[in-house]
A = this chain, B = another copy of it.
Amino acid sequence: MSKKIDVGVLGATGMVGQQFIARLANHPWFNVCWLAASERSEGKPYADAAPWRLATPMPDSVRSKTVEACEPRRGPAVVFSALDAKAADVLEAEFAAAGHVVLSNARTFRMDPLVPLLIPEVNADHLDLLSEQKSAKGWKGAVVTNPNCATIVLAMALAPLRQFGINKVSVTTMQAVSGAGYPGVASLDILGNIIPFIGGGEEEKIETETLKILGTDGGRSRLNAVISAQVNRVPVIDGHSMTVSVDLLTVPSVDEVVNAMRTFSGRPQVLKLPTAPVPPIVVMSQENRPQPRLDAGLGDGMTTSVGRVRVCPVLTHKFVALSHNTIRGAAGASILNAELMKAEGFFN
């Protein structure tokens, strides 16, 4: 690729915005040239506007960049949206209407039947929705979304099992505090504690988004399965763990399930996208893995780890799954979506 593609970040000063900037800093294809945020930050150098909270230092390339307002047509054609839901509700459609390709981490359009809820390894063909999206919405650009940070763990782990007929899924999540943004969860609430609830409809998101992602016809035909989610917040910094029980219609052997996961691959691996994990799913053989602190960072945070695959006496199989929630579950997901769109010719 001779020249990098200019990209912008909407909501650049928040936690997710910072993660976009950190992950894009040395990206081989994309160049962050435009940082947009709320009025409060407008006109300030990024280093002054953003209360940087990541363990990796702020990239020098953005320190002195002036933060601009989140207005369409001012930035480049491709923008990553780290907007919170309220801002995204208004702005993402405006950007798409004005011709921008919006790669969104917000929930606003995730369940819109004309908007791909994309995991490149799982449902790359959902991008086919975009032509209809364009005409139906009258947008010159497009919106493509990535799933909720817990959904993506489950959808990745289930994707290889579609061949066995997924009938029922029961999942209990143990979600890291970084999934709640900043300031997010109060330390008094979570130090040495478990909170068996996450607001904002977390369980419903997991139950519905997963069926769209694993569905056909761009997700308009949902996977014909039933999912039950029980969520917990746990005192972990990064990495959403979950125990999964699944009822598979063809009742494969445990070895067949493990093999399906281990050999699973998709368009990102075929196209050798820059941040595609190889393989996308690692099935660990140790009996006490995966663990968030040790394994969330695998594949630079893009790998989904699975362990303890075994027979379930209630449904047919059970296992543990884990992904890095702010990488595979947020900024990294959107960036892989952008890589896929670029490689498939949706922009250049």
- Interface positions of A (Cβ within 8 A of B): 53-57, 168-170, 172, 174, 177-178, 182-197, 207, 226-228, 230, 232, 234-237, 241, 243, 245, 247, 287-295, 297-298, 307-308, 312-315, 318, 320
With A177-B191, A195-B291 known, 12 other A-B pairs at CB within 8 A are A53-B188, A53-B294, A54-B294, A174-B194, A192-B236, A193-B293, A207-B313, A227-B314, A230-B243, A230-B308, A232-B241, A237-B293
- The closest CB in chain B to the CB of A171 belongs to B172
A229 to chain B minimum Cβ distance, whole angstroms, is: 9
A-B contact pairs, 5 of them (CB 8 A): A55-B297, A170-B312, A174-B232, A191-B235, A314-B315
A193 touches B294 (CB 8 A): yes
Residue numbers in B under 8 Å from A241 (CB-CB): 194, 196, 232
A188 touches B196 (CB 8 A): no
A314 touches B174 (CB 8 A): no
B230 touches A314 (CB 8 A): no
A210 to chain B minimum Cβ distance, whole angstroms, is: 13
- For the complex, give the distance between the alpha carbons of A168 and B53 in Å: 35
Q: Which of B228, B290, B293 contacts A318 (CB 8 A)?
A: B228
- For the complex, give the distance between the alpha carbons of A176 and B193 in Å: 9
- For the complex, give the distance between the alpha carbons of A318 and B172 in Å: 11
A194 touches B292 (CB 8 A): yes
A313 touches B228 (CB 8 A): yes
B185 touches A243 (CB 8 A): no
- For the complex, give the distance between the alpha carbons of A53 and B186 in Å: 12
Q: Indicate whether A245 sits within 8 Å of B170 (C-beta atoms), given known contacts A187-B190, A288-B196.
A: yes
- For the complex, give the distance between the alpha carbons of A338 and B35 in Å: 44
Residue numbers in B under 8 Å from A194 (CB-CB): 174, 234, 236, 241, 291-292
